[in-house]
Amino acid sequence: MKQPRHKRSDRPIPVDDVLLSVVSAVADRHAREDQLAGSPPSLEVGLPVPSLAVRYLLQNSGLPLGLVYHLVGPPAVFKSTLLAEMIRWHIACGGVGILCETETKPTPELRKSVIGWEDKRTIVRECTSVEGWQKTITDYIKAIQKEYSDRKEELKPIIFGIDSYMGKMPQRLQEKFARQGYAEKHFGEAAQIIGDWLSVYTALTKGWPFTLVGVNHLKKSIDPVTGLISYRTPGGQFLQHQNVTEIRVARSKTERKEADGVPYYETVIQLQTTKNSRGAQDKRIFVTLRQWREIKDNQSRLYSSFEWWESTVRMLHDGWGLTNSEREILLPKVKKILDIQKRSRGDLFWCDRLNIGREDAIQPHELGMILEQQEDLLQELYKVLEITQLQLFGQTQLHTESRLAGAKQEDDVVEIEEGLDDTVSE
């Protein structure tokens, strides 16, 4: 065991030598026992993520691997689309995605619009029970661990997606209700089964580059006496014990626009961490989801792109997406490092420190990608934004080209939906 030192002065902190030797001996014995039992330590590696905005949300320089994540939100806020985006991140690093669909409403077009129409590294299975998706994931884990048991370092990141946790009931309840011909109120058996399985899953996959992402619905209620708003997810606390981060998803409005005569749609998505065991929680960002269609091989194909790089630029420019308290605290510090400016007309940005002058102002997507190449600036911003730096799995770039960047845009609002709260439209 290392000699403890004071965080600021670095002076040695006195420790009882006898106590230290006893503790060190037990720690060494436990380490040998874990090694003999094949129980590796938890991973301290992160998956590269597209932009600084995502790192701020996660409070880590990458997506920590080997952990469980939850995406929660009301219906139709693009939770499944965000899951597809996370699958894309893993595939970009050479990995694969295993998606368990449980809601019997598959969306292959939407999924391919995010991951890619030629994608062959995402395996989808439609599961009809809780036990079905659990067995599916466990089968893949056992097969992969058997194949890579003596060459784990060669294994690429793998993501397991469950869309959604409570989409189907346990097999026993299904059989019971089928015999009866009707359903009835029952104890939360599904939640307990899922909670127990997650406990087994985290032990089974410890030390392996697996990511589990579960999607769940979020229900909003208002106390009739106090008027206070509260949120809950089906399954309650049973499903929250093992997840490291819970991201609450909401949306504001969808707008129809045009670029070079091509119509497309933009939706502002709000992401907020309501739990984060690997960093500060309650961090919030906005990101624009852009969707459009193109004709390929005489077929109309949907394309979807999360504008993470634009999100970074807008966040650093005026605190777009940040909570009010975070904006007041962080923005002045950010401006001392990187003062991003916006032209008074149009949607063009510039920054002297990024070698983009006012006369050469460019789209936020492009400026955000330039920032991603400036490691020295990112290091400075990590300190201000209190982002923990992780060793990253490779250095794969997750950039995507914006086919609509730089084009003239015409706004035409065609659909408006209320977000989770009014702050989305700040």
CATH of residue 204: 3.40.50.300
Whether 55 is in a domain gets the answer no
β-strand pairing of 45-47 with 391-392 = parallel
Q: Same domain, yes or no, for 97 and 230?
A: yes
Q: Same domain, yes or no, for 233 and 261?
A: no
Cα(308)–Cα(82) distance, rounded to whole angstroms?
12
Whether 112 is in a domain gets the answer yes
pLDDT at res. 419: 40
Q: Same domain, yes or no, for 106 and 182?
A: yes
Q: What pTM was estimated for this model as a whole? A: 0.85
pLDDT at res. 417: 35
Q: Same domain, yes or no, for 219 and 92?
A: yes
| Residue at a domain's end among 243, 262, 287 | 243
Q: Same domain, yes or no, for 238 and 256?
A: no
Split into its structural domains, the chain has a count of 2
Which residue in the block uniquely carries the two structure tokens 């590269």? 48
Q: Same domain, yes or no, for 271 and 391?
A: yes
Whether 81 is in a domain gets the answer yes
Whether 426 is in a domain gets the answer no
User: What range does the domain containing 146 cover?
Assistant: 68-243
pLDDT at res. 389: 94
Q: Same domain, yes or no, for 272 and 230?
A: no
pLDDT at res. 2: 65
Q: Same domain, yes or no, for 182 and 257?
A: no
Whether 3 is in a domain gets the answer no
| Residue at a domain's end among 243, 260, 292 | 243
| Residue at a domain's end among 243, 273, 288 | 243
Q: Same domain, yes or no, for 102 and 125?
A: yes
Whether 1 is in a domain gets the answer no
Whether 21 is in a domain gets the answer no
| Residuewise pLDDT in 10s, the chain (426 residues) | 566 676 677 777 766 666 667 677 777 777 676 665 556 677 789 999 999 999 999 999 999 999 999 999 999 999 999 999 999 999 999 999 999 999 888 789 999 999 999 999 999 999 999 999 999 999 999 999 999 999 998 999 999 999 989 889 898 999 989 999 988 887 788 888 998 999 999 999 999 999 999 999 887 778 778 777 777 776 666 666 778 899 999 998 899 999 888 899 999 999 999 999 999 999 999 999 999 999 988 899 999 999 999 999 999 999 999 999 999 999 999 999 999 999 988 899 999 999 999 999 999 999 999 999 999 999 999 999 999 999 998 754 455 444 444 444 444 333 333 343 433 433
CB 349 within 8 A of CB 361: yes
Q: Same domain, yes or no, for 274 and 209?
A: no
Q: Same domain, yes or no, for 383 and 303?
A: yes
Whether 48 is in a domain gets the answer no
Q: Same domain, yes or no, for 179 and 297?
A: no
pLDDT at res. 36: 59
